[in-house]
Structure formats: structure tokens, C-alpha cells
């Protein structure tokens, strides 16, 4: 068990190291450097600019400095915002993004699990078909289509909810719904398959034969085992919510980290893109790591070699 956890931790560190290295060399592969513009800057200004962003040192030295800073969770200054460092912007944007993302995950789990179970129990009936149509649509429709549809109907036509911005609780409803569509469909689909699978097991038949009611069997046995399979996909779901949040934050003008990343891309703010990317890689790696480790503890069927 401990060996597995250490192995996963090491892999996580390697992942972050690789992403950071890739980011660093990619940013340095940009021809002409970051300050090349139409207006040619005087030699001295250029030198000072390079000095401020540590671009005068030899490449290997820059690389080491950069990696040491990242290990200290310092993502450096921003090219465009003179007063803000990348850390300031992450500190401002990440809580917002995490709120939207976390709420979406909760909504997806809270609605997806019952939807999947109902579909499995009513296999072949209208509930099953309705859930099948819903999952197919939610998986096939891109996030921005769904988001703009929600915005058009609920904000512009019905005028029930605000169209954009962030702060009041009712401003979170539409973005959270838009963001949870895909994970919701995915969880429902997976939950349906795994519930059907679990219900076919011998121990379910035994439980029924002993006289347990159908609902009790579902609660006590089926649900617990089917839930485990949902745990396995939480990691990829978190990654998916991250990608979705870029689009959703842009549409609903939410001042989250995704919005800052999109802006940094438009502004060609290289240090910001690099910093936010590495930060995202870290967060996602940690999330997946936590999910994987938790999974080992809650699934009694897992026996990792060396843990006996």
C-alpha cells in the first residue's frame, strides 16, 4: 500500500517536472524573444527588460532558476501586468474557478448517480430511454453550445437569471449547470452500466433469496459497489471540468483563472500562460492523486502487490 502511494507521488512529481520543462523550453523557442514588437526598443531598455525577467542569464541558469522557483510555488512576474505577479492573479482567480468547478462536480454527481441508477432499474422502459437520449446529447453537444442555449433561454427570454458576471449566488446557477452537463452525462452512463453489472452478481441474488427487499438490496449492496466505479473516473472528470471552465468562464464573464488564461493567450502574456499552465498541471495532478489514493482505501477488492 505504502509502496503504491509513494510510486504515485513520484509519478505526480515527474509529471509536474515534465510539464514545467516542456513549458519552459516551448516559451524559449518563440523566435525573437518576448519583447520583439513593431517599435524597436533602445538597447539599454531591452537589456533592462531582459534583466527584469531573468532573460540575460545563460539558458541552463534560467532553467534552473525557473524550476527552483516553481518548486517554491513562485510563478514569477507577468509580462503585461506590471504590478501583478502570476501568483497574485492565481490567488484572485483560482478560488472563483474552484467554486464553479466544485459546484459543477457536486451537481454532476448528485444528479448523475440517481439518473444512472433509475435508468438501470428501469432498463428498457421510458426512464431508461430518456436518460439515454439525455446522456447522448450532453456528451455530443459542446459546452459553449449548451452554455449559450441556457443563457438565451433563462437570461434573455425568460429573464429568470442574470446572464453574466460573478458575485451573487444566482449568478452561479447557469455556469454551474453548463459546466456540469458533460460530467453528469458521463457519470449517469457509467452508473447505469455498473449498476446493471452489480445487479447480475450472485450475492445480489443471495440477498434477495434471503428475503431482503429490493430497495434494501439496492441501497446496501448495489449502490455501494456501483459508486466505486464512479470514483475511478473522478480524476478525468476534474480534468474535463477544467477544460470546460475555460469556455464557460469566457461566456459568462466569470473572473476565474480560466478567464485570466484566455486573456493571457490573447495578450501573448507568456509568463502568465506558463505559470497558469504549470499551476493547472499541479492542481490536476494532486486531484487525481488524491482520488487514486482514496480509491485504494475504499475498495476492499484492490490488493496492490507488496501490500499483503
Partner 1 sequence: MDEQNVNKTAVTELSFKPLHKDPSEINKLIRPSVSFWQDAWYRLRKNKLGMLGIFIVLFMILFGIIAPIVMDRVFHVTYSDQTLAYAYSKPGQNGYLFGADNLGRDVLVRLAYGARISLAVGIAASLVALGIGVVYGTISGYYGGRVDTLMMRVVDIIDSVPSMLYVILLMTVLPRGLTSVFFVIGATSWLSMARLVRGEVLSLKEREFILAAKISGVKTWGIMLRHLIPNAMGPILVSMTMGIPSAIFLESNLSFLGLGISAPMASWGSMASEGIEALRNYPHMIFFPALFISLTILGFNFLGDALRDALDPRMRK
Residues lying near partner 1 in the complex (CB under 8 A) are found at: 11-12, 14-15, 18-19, 22-23, 26-27, 29-30, 136-137, 139-145, 148-149, 151-152, 156, 163, 239-240, 242-243, 246-247, 250-251, 261-262, 265-266, 268, 270, 273-274, 277, 280-281, 284-285, 288
> What are the grid coordinates assigned to 195, written together?
449498476
Residue keyed to cell 448517480 = 113
In the complex with partner 1, the residue whose CB is nearer, 152 or 219, is 152
In the complex with partner 1, the residue whose CB is nearer, 14 or 106, is 14
Residue 234 C-beta: closest distance to partner 1, Å: 14
Residue 152 C-beta: closest distance to partner 1, Å: 6
Closest CA to 70 of 33, 27, 23: 23
Residue 82 C-beta: closest distance to partner 1, Å: 21
Helix (H, G, I), strand (E, B) or coil at 5: helix
**CA–CA separation, 130 and 118 (whole Å):** 11
In the complex with partner 1, the residue whose CB is nearer, 207 or 275, is 275
Helix (H, G, I), strand (E, B) or coil at 32: coil
**CA–CA separation, 299 and 226 (whole Å):** 11
In the complex with partner 1, the residue whose CB is nearer, 22 or 203, is 22
Contact status, residue 74 vs residue 278, Cβ threshold 8 Å: no
Tell me the H-state helices in the chain: 2-28, 43-52, 59-71, 86-121, 126-140, 143-150, 173-199, 202-209, 214-217, 223-251, 257-267, 270-298
Residue 219 C-beta: closest distance to partner 1, Å: 26
Q: Around 74, how many Cα atoms within 13 Å sit in the side-chain half-sphere?
A: 8
**CA–CA separation, 227 and 31 (whole Å):** 50
Residue 44 C-beta: closest distance to partner 1, Å: 28
In the complex with partner 1, the residue whose CB is nearer, 13 or 106, is 13
Residue 31 C-beta: closest distance to partner 1, Å: 9
In the complex with partner 1, the residue whose CB is nearer, 149 or 220, is 149
Amino acid at each position: 500500500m505504502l509502496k503504491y502511494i509513494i510510486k504515485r507521488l513520484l509519478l505526480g512529481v515527474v509529471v509536474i517536472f515534465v510539464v514545467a520543462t516542456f513549458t519552459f523550453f516551448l516559451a524559449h523557442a518563440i523566435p525573437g524573444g518576448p519583447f520583439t514588437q513593431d517599435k524597436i526598443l533602445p538597447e539599454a531598455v531591452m537589456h533592462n527588460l531582459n534583466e527584469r525577467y531573468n532573460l540575460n542569464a545563460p539558458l541552463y541558469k534560467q532553467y534552473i532558476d525557473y524550476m527552483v522557483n516553481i518548486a517554491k510555488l513562485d510563478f514569477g512576474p507577468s509580462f503585461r501586468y506590471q504590478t501583478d505577479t502570476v501568483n497574485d492573479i492565481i490567488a484572485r482567480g483560482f478560488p472563483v474557478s474552484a467554486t464553479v468547478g466544485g459546484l459543477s462536480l457536486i451537481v454532476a454527481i448528485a444528479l448523475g448517480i440517481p439518473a444512472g441508477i433509475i435508468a438501470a432499474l428501469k432498463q428498457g422502459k421510458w426512464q431508461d430511454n430518456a436518460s439515454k437520449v439525455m446522456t447522448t446529447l450532453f456528451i455530443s453537444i459542446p459546452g459553449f453550445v449548451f452554455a449559450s442555449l441556457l443563457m438565451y433561454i433563462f437570461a434573455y427570454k425568460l429573464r429568470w437569471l442574470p446572464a453574466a458576471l460573478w458575485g451573487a449566488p444566482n449568478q452561479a446557477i447557469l455556469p454551474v449547470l453548463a459546466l456540469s452537463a458533460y460530467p453528469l452525462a458521463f457519470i449517469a452512463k457509467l452508473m447505469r452500466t455498473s449498476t446493471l453489472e452489480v445487479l447480475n452478481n450472485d450475492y445480489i441474488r443471495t440477498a434477495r433469496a434471503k428475503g431482503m427487499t429490493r430497495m434494501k438490496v439496492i441501497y446496501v449492496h448495489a449502490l455501494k459497489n456501483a459508486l466505486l466505479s464512479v470514483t475511478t473516473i473522478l480524476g478525468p472528470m476534474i480534468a474535463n471540468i477544467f477544460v470546460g471552465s475555460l469556455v464557460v468562464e469566457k461566456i459568462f464573464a466569470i473572473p476565474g483563472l480560466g478567464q485570466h488564461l484566455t486573456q493571457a493567450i490573447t495578450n501573448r502574456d507568456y509568463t502568465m500562460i506558463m505559470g497558469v499552465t504549470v499551476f493547472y498541471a499541479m492542481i490536476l495532478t494532486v486531484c487525481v492523486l488524491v482520488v487514486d489514493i482514496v480509491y485504494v482505501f475504499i475498495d476492499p477488492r484492490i490488493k496492490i502487490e507488496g501490500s499483503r
